[in-house]
């Protein structure tokens, strides 16, 4: 597992000691680099060279391609029999999860199950595609939070021309974002007013038939709307080239607030000053000209955080340890620390952070999750944190608590995705080898072309057919065929 600075010492950690007391297993740690990319590189080198691996790998969220590529060597143990015979807490997880696809998420294309999962069923994780608009500016201008794309354009014009920050200078930036920040891509949020924008591969699905959004007329209409905003100076050109740190610097301009609206999972991704954060409210999905107002749905995941290798001397003991990690007490300790010290059970009088979606209070946190501590492993191991536990945080009463802000905004976004969305594609090793270069080239081209259409470096009338022709030449038909194959295989397990 990674040697992260947030954990003082894995050997003396309170969660380690508790696990050892509960299971009788003596734990020893082999630590990889804290940086995820460096840790993965080290693991890939060890796999390629046949170097002996640790008995158990944790916090390596490996894709199916790695399991399939190494299947013939047997370096990763198939856990199917252990799950069926000894998975007590594993089976309770399957009974209690809100995800009907949980079992399917654990299976590779060869039918084997190589990992114990990390599962957190916090509702906010499923609806991350939010945006935030400056309510203080709206009040100054006498405007309401916009509900439609046309109303939004009107608001942005007022932000640009009405001096809402009241400094007498035309320095307002109506709308900005970043090229790589989580949920900070402007055209992803706005496109959902025209066609569903699955931000992974832009998939759309109807009656089991998978397709892509980026060659449809609705996609062109969305680009046309955004191009119009850009021509009026309402979309910041920097949003297509700046990174998340640059956007944060813009949002925290020390002299006066100059940012009207931005997409992001939460305002805390940009705003660390409470008084600045207090200016913003959530912007709901905007209703487009055809009545569409989608919200991006990030399907529940099961990350591969517990993997047993062939070098394990007692794989049954290793499995039962990870199975125990899936119990509720472990989930609470893994997230909050030592009961009675780092957290306590909620009282009847407590208010729940996620009260807006009907959740009930479960746990009152004492130990801050961020920062250095020695109470838990920062959840870098198999976990099942159910919806009740994940959404059951007690609210501290601070209206500027960022988790409360995000939780309160959820009703604006929930259940606004199409009925069918893609949870996972289950591809064979051969299909992955064929799919990977197609996916990379097509996604890069769509990303590049979308920006060029918005900023008028490409013309949506004169150059649209050429754009479609390039996609066809790049192998879009085969990309969709492979995607359909993986989608069918996943659904038909």
User: pLDDT tens digit string along 372-410?
Assistant: 999 999 999 999 999 999 999 999 999 999 899 999 999
Residue in the block written with tokens 């949920």 = 183
Name 324's Cβ contacts closer than 8 Å, sequence gap at least 6: 19, 22, 23, 89, 330
Q: Domains of the chain: which residue ranges?
A: 14-125+299-412, 128-296+425-493
Would you state the torsion angle of the CA atoms of residues 447, 452, 455, 459, taken in this order, to the nearest 10 degrees?
-130
Average pLDDT over every residue of 71-96:
97
pLDDT band at 243 (very low <50, low <70, confident <90, very high): very high
Please report the pLDDT score of residue 117 as a whole number.
98
Model confidence at 70, pLDDT cuts 50, 70, 90, reads: very high
> Rounded to whole angstroms, how far apart are CA atoms 10 and 460?
56
Same fold, 14-125+299-412 and 128-296+425-493: yes
3-state secondary structure of 117: strand
Reported confidence tier of residue 200, pLDDT bands at 50, 70, 90: confident
Residues 318-346: what's their mean pLDDT? 97
Architecture of domain 14-125+299-412: 3-Layer(aba) Sandwich (3.40)
Alpha-carbon gap, residue 226 to 349, rounded angstroms: 47
Neighbours of 373 (CB within 10 A): 18
Between the CA of residue 51 and those of 30, 42, 46, 47, what are the distances in Å?
14, 11, 5, 6
Do residues 213 and 198 make contact, with C-beta atoms less than 8 angstroms apart? Answer: yes
pLDDT of residue 199: 83
> In the numeric block, which tokens belong to residue 442?
């097509």
Give the residue-averaged pLDDT of 38-64. 95
Q: Are strands 173-175 and 259-263 parallel, antiparallel or unpaired?
A: parallel
Average pLDDT over the chain reads: 96
Q: State how far the Cα of 85 lies from the Cα of 188, in Å rounded to an integer.
A: 45
Mean per-residue pLDDT, 143-170: 97
Mean pLDDT to the nearest integer, 150-155: 98
CA distance linking residue 476 with residue 196, whole number of Å:
19
For residues 282-286, average pLDDT: 98
Q: DSSP class of residue 145?
A: P
**If you compute the radius of gyration of the chain from its CA atoms, what whole number of angstroms results?**
24
Distance between CA atoms of 149 and 151, rounded to whole angstroms? 5
Q: What is the pLDDT of residue 368?
A: 86
451 has pLDDT over 90? yes
User: Residue 277: is its pLDDT beyond 80?
Assistant: yes
Q: Which CATH number fits domain 128-296+425-493: 3.30.230.10, 3.30.160.100, 3.40.50.300, 3.40.190.10?
A: 3.40.190.10
Q: Tell me which H or E stretch contains 407.
A: helix 402-409
φ and ψ at 206, to 5 degrees?
A: -145, 125
**Residue 273: which pLDDT band, with cuts at 50, 70 and 90?**
confident
Residue 242 has pLDDT above 90, yes or no: yes
Nearest Cα to Cα of residue 486 among 103, 468, 478: 478
pLDDT tens digit sequence for 90-136: 999 999 999 999 999 999 999 999 999 999 999 999 999 999 999 99
Look at residues 186, 190, 164, 188 and name the one whose alpha carbon lies nearest to residue 175.
186
Distance CA 77, CA 371 (A): 35
The DSSP output letter for 259 is E
- Among 64-78, 271-285, 308-322, which is the least confidently predicted range? 271-285
d(CA 275, CA 5): 30
Res 370 pLDDT > 80: no
Residue from 60, 64, 65, 67 nearest 42 by CA = 60
Q: Which of 215, 154, 287 has the alpha carbon at shortest distance from 449?
A: 215
Task: For residues 203 and 397, give the distance between their C-alpha atoms in angstroms, rounded to a whole number.
Answer: 40
Mean pLDDT of all residues in 286-310: 96
Structure confidence at residue 32 as a pLDDT band (50, 70, 90) = very high
**Tokens standing for 366?**
């004492």
pTM of the model: 0.93
């Amino acid at each position: 597992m990674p040697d992260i600075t947030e954990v003082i010492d894995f050997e003396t950690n309170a969660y380690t000691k508790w696990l050892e007391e509960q299971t009788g297993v003596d734990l020893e740690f082999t630590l990889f680099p804290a940086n995820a990319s460096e840790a993965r590189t080290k693991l890939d080198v060890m796999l390629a060279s046949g170097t002996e691996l640790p008995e158990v790998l944790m916090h390596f969220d490996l894709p199916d391609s790695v399991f399939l590529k190494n299947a013939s060597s047997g370096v990763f143990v198939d856990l199917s029999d252990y799950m069926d015979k000894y998975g007590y807490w594993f089976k309770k997880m399957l009974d209690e999860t809100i995800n009907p696809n949980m079992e399917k998420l654990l299976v590779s294309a060869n039918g084997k199950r190589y990992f114990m999962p990390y599962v957190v069923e916090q509702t906010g994780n499923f609806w991350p595609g939010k945006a935030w608009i400056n309510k203080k500016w709206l009040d100054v201008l006498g405007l309401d939070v916009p509900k439609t794309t046309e109303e939004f354009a009107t608001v942005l014009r007022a932000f640009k021309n009405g001096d809402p920050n009241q400094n007498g200078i035309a320095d307002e930036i109506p709308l900005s974002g970043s090229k790589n920040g989580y949920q900070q891509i402007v055209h992803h949020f706005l496109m959902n007013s025209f066609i569903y924008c699955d931000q992974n591969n832009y998939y759309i699905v109807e009656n089991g038939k998978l397709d892509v959004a980026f060659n449809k007329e609705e996609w062109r209409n969305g680009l046309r709307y955004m191009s119009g905003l850009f021509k009026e100076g309402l979309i910041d050109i920097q949003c297509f080239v700046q990174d998340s740190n640059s956007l944060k610097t813009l949002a925290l301009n020390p002299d006066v607030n100059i940012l009207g609206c931005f997409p992001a999972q939460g305002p805390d991704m940009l705003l660390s000053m409470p008084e600045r954060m207090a200016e913003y409210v959530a912007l709901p999905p905007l209703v487009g000209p055809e009545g569409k107002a989608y919200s991006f749905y990030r399907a529940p995941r099961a990350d591969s955080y517990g993997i047993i290798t062939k070098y394990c001397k007692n794989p049954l003991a290793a499995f039962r340890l990870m199975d125990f990690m899936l119990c509720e007490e472990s989930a609470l300790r893994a997230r909050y620390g030592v009961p009675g010290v780092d957290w306590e059970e909620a009282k009847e009088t407590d208010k729940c952070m996620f009260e807006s979606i009907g959740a009930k209070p479960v746990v009152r946190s004492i130990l801050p999750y961020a920062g250095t501590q020695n109470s838990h492993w920062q959840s870098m191991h198999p976990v099942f944190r159910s919806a009740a536990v994940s959404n059951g945080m007690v609210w501290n009463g601070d209206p500027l608590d960022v988790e409360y802000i995000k939780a309160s905004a959820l009703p604006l976004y929930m259940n606004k995705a199409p009925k069918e969305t893609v949870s996972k594609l289950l591809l064979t090793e051969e299909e992955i080898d064929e799919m990977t270069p197609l996916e990379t080239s097509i996604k890069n081209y769509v990303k590049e072309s979308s920006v060029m259409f918005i900023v008028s470096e490409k013309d949506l009338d004169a150059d649209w057919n050429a754009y479609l022709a390039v996609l066809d030449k790049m192998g879009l038909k085969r990309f969709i065929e492979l995607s359909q194959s993986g989608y069918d295989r996943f659904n038909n397990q």
